[in-house]
Structure 1
Amino acid sequence: MSVNMGDQEIEQNTQTEVPVGAIQTVDPEILTKLPIGTRVLGITAHGVSLWTRTARIDVERDGRRKAYFLKTSSGDLGREMTSSEFQCMTKLRAVMPDLVPEPIAWGSYAAIPNVHFLLCEFRRMSGNVPPPEILAKKIVELHRTSDHDGDKKERFGSNVPTFHGNARVEHGWSDTWEEYFARTTRVLFDLEQDAQGPNDEIEQMIAPFFEKVIPRLLRPLETGGRSIQPSLIHGDLWHGNAETDAETGLPIIFDAASYYAHNEYELGVWRQPWNNIGTAYREEYHKHFPKSPPEEDCDDRNALYAVRVNILDSILYKDDPGYRRMLISGMRELIDKFPGGFEEWETS
């Protein structure tokens, strides 16, 4: 999770284990990814990041100046994060080239052991989140036009693990959205318990959550003649991962954790009280992409998707009890509302 703050040069977060030298000189391996004849003019710390160090590289070639955005990570986990983000951004770029900065390359440093990099096109940003009517419409376009991965057509998931911050998420493939959501969310609950420590209240809610709530809200999407098509989503679209291009005025999204999902899952993080991309964006989105039937379940599905976001945040911010409290509250509300599960809905 990182933020590129326009043209501001901002002191990097010191939580990262990446040595500061990674953004003080341009590593020889990075130079091999630049066009022949490129001359480096300088490298400057740029942006804000919790687990990486980021920089702007200014270059000149054939008398023309250009800039690149550099993100660096360390260790085996950092290597996986870098590879994953490159692949996710490449997928998004293939579908929506005007919405995503071009990923150039990823690799490992030659001069500094165990440091890895992601090199991207540099886009000058305004520091403003795009307004609802502009951003929501572009996200609808992404969801409607995304191509699927070859032989995995019409399946949910991904062959690429993604990262919520530095928390790894395995996807795999599922034929139904309910199966994908239940399978992967169960794993996330285990990771949350490992990160935060055992919690009796959550443990007691696991069975009704998986046996009643998830079938009640997700099974109707794909039964009774209804169906949903997998959409390529950004995967973590909060206000820190969406900006406005200072030159074109168009939206830009970055730091992707992309996979193929029910399109409405993208809107789960738009329910979070801390996200500046909120209710107005959800409302605008559904002006262009109607709610999946049964439409009357849409807000409760959104609450379910927000629970999964809270699990991820509770894993990531394990020293902040607030995310676990939000998780417990969200689970309890849904369990209390749907005690009869899918069976009760089906016979009503």
Structure 2
Amino acid sequence: MVDATIWDQEITVPETVITYVDDNVVQKLPGGSTIKSISPHGASYWTRTARIQTLDAEGKDVSYFLKYHIQVSQGDVGKGMAMPNLAPRPIGWGVYAQEPDVYFFLCAFRDMTGDIPDPSSFPRMLAVMHKNGVSPTGKFGFPVTTYHGRFPQDTTKCDTWEESFSRSMSRFFELEEESQGFDEEMAQLRKALMEKVIPRLLRPMETEGRKIIPSLVHGDLWDGNASVDAATGLPIIFDACSSYAHHEYELAPWRPTRHKIGKPYVTEYVKHFPISEPAEDFDDRNALYCVRFNLCSSALYPGNLRFRNIVKEEMKNLIEKFPAGYEGNLT
């Protein structure tokens, strides 16, 4: 669940963009398309979304989904290509001709029921996406900047998962402090987490002959970004902030009890994509990854310290468990 006050925050994308179809959007539509209408569709905390209704070259009704952002974000693109049955098919993306500060992402329209996906099929399909969506360069990160909510992520290409995740954590620690203000205890916990816990939990997966294959992840897969296709009954995911990451990273939003997608989904997922070695660290890695998501949640709600306090408690637990860091793993 999200804090209801999030709806009070201003959307920076001008409302006028959902009143007309820009020429650059028209150019992305299939040849012979005739536009019938554009109207607001769906709800978003950070941007504006619309449905374009058209007639194709044969006179058939075809709809498209349009998402806008003040900065370019192609997080949905790779996800759709890696698993076309799980994500709306990307059509195109670019910048508005009449609004040069507004970027758009155009994809196939998929009507959704509003239900969350079934735990018997969704984790299996997600595991297939992770296996198919392998980084073409073998590096972690992403070719373009993607956005977690309204925040640009650090998607720098990295050779190791430890470096990639550390950069992401540093970025969101900074964003959280900008939002909530400096806190001495938070600063001390951050230092210990970065210097001790992250090396202890991530480095063993990439040493002693072990290796992580960078997988394409959605990046923010809580129940608010997943539903069921009304036409097919199959799971569908959207609003990605993709990157090539450790596949277990995807499971972090399934840890908090406030979310509707939880433990049963994790249990089913690991049947289709095995836990990385050392397997005994799996739950602690999941807790660490969840810190990253809760940092983002804290940054989104200035003045609300609920998520900061959750982050603090989880960091304390991890630091208490691994005070000696990676070196302690060698003894």
Query: Normalised by the shorter chain, which TM-score bucket?
Result: over 0.9
RMSD: 1.8
Residue aligned with 1:209, SS: helix
Question: Within 1, Cα distance between the matches of 2:324 and 2:13?
Answer: 50
The within-5 A match list for 1:144-293 is 144-149=131-136, 152-153=137-138, 155-293=139-277
> Judging changes above 3 Å, is the alpha-carbon distance between structure 1 residues 158 and 17 closer, same or farther for their aligned structure 2 residues?
closer
In structure 2, relative to structure 1, the CA distance for the partners of 1:203 and 1:55 (3 Å cut) is: same
Query: Matches of 2:149 and 2:219 in 1, distance apart?
Result: 12
Is 1:302 the equivalent of 2:291? no
Task: Report the secondary structure of 1:174's partner residue.
Answer: coil
State the distance in 1 between where 2:223 and 2:173 align: 25
Helix, strand or coil at the partner of 1:144: helix
Sequence identity (%): 47
Q: Determine if contact 2:52/2:64 at 8 Å carries over to the other structure.
A: yes
Offset at 1:147? 3.0
Q: How does 1:122-137 map to 2 (within 5 A)?
A: 122-137=109-124
More strand by share: 1
Q: Where does residue 32 of structure 1 map in the other structure?
A: 27
C-alpha distance in structure 1 between counterparts of 2:87 and 2:81, whole Å: 9
Separation in 1 of the partners of 2:8 and 2:173? Answer: 29
How far apart, in 1, do the equivalents of 2:36 and 2:280 lie?
57
- SS of the equivalent of 1:204 reads helix
Q: Name the CA shift for 1:269/1:64 in 2 (closer, same or farther; >3 Å).
A: same
Q: Which moved more, 1:267-276 or 1:106-115?
A: 106-115
Deviations 1:59-103 (A, max 9, x none): 112221110111223xxxx1x2xx323xx3221222211111112
Q: CA deviation at 1:308?
A: 0.9
* Residue of structure 2 in register with 1:84 after alignment: 73
4+ long deviations beyond 6 Å: none
Are 1:141 and 2:128 an aligned pair?
A: yes
SS at match of 2:67: strand
Say which of 29, 42, 49 aligns to 2:44: 49
Aligned length: 324
Q: Give 1:112 deviation, angstroms.
A: 4.4
**Cα distance in 2 for residues equivalent to 1:193 and 1:18:** 25
Secondary structure of the equivalent of 1:133?
coil
2:134/2:214 contact within 8 Å kept: no
Distance 2:150 2:124 in 1: 29
Please state whether the residue corresponding to 1:157 is helix, strand or coil: coil
Q: 1:184 to 1:111 in 2, by over 3 A?
A: closer
Q: Give 1:14 deviation, angstroms.
A: 7.7
Q: Assess if the C-alpha contact under 8 Å between 1:167 and 1:315 holds in 2.
A: no
CA shift for structure 1 position 223 = 1.8
Residue aligned with 1:156, SS:
coil
Unaligned runs of 5+ in 2: 1-6
Against the structure 1 CA distance between its residues 63 and 184, is the aligned structure 2 distance closer, same or farther, given a 3 Å change threshold?
A: closer
1:67 aligns with 2:63: yes
The one of 96, 112, 118 equivalent to 2:105 is 118
**Change in 2 beyond 3 A, CA 1:64/1:292:** same
**Is residue 317 of structure 1 aligned with residue 306 of structure 2?**
no
Contact residue 13 and residue 50 of structure 1 kept, 8 A: no
Provide closer, same or farther for how the CA distance between residues 19 and 13 of structure 1 changes in structure 2, counting only shifts above 3 A: farther
**Secondary structure of the structure 2 residue equivalent to 1:210:** helix
Cα distance in structure 1, aligned partners of 2:11 and 2:169: 28
**Residue type at the aligned position of 2:179:** A
Question: In 1, Cα distance between the equivalents of 2:208 and 2:41?
Answer: 52
- Residue identity opposite 2:47 in structure 1: T
Q: Tell me the residue number matched to 1:9.
A: none
CA distance in 2, matches of 1:185, 1:130: 29
Query: Which letter does structure 2 place at the counterpart of 1:34?
Result: L
Shift of 1:191: 2.3
8 Å Cα contact 1:13-1:49 kept in structure 2: no
**Partner SS for 1:148:** coil
Task: Tell me the equivalent position of 2:3.
Answer: none
Confirm or deny: 8 A CA contact 2:154 2:167 kept in the other structure. Answer: no
Say which is worse superposed, 64-73 or 36-45, in terms of deviation: 36-45
CA distance in 2 between counterparts of 1:246 and 1:123 reads: 8
Q: Is the 8 A contact 1:13 1:48 kept in 2?
A: no
- Per the alignment, in what secondary structure is the counterpart of residue 120 of structure 2? helix
Say which SS state the counterpart of residue 215 (structure 1) adopts: helix
Question: How far is 1:243 from its partner?
Answer: 1.2
Change (3 A) 1:242 1:34: same
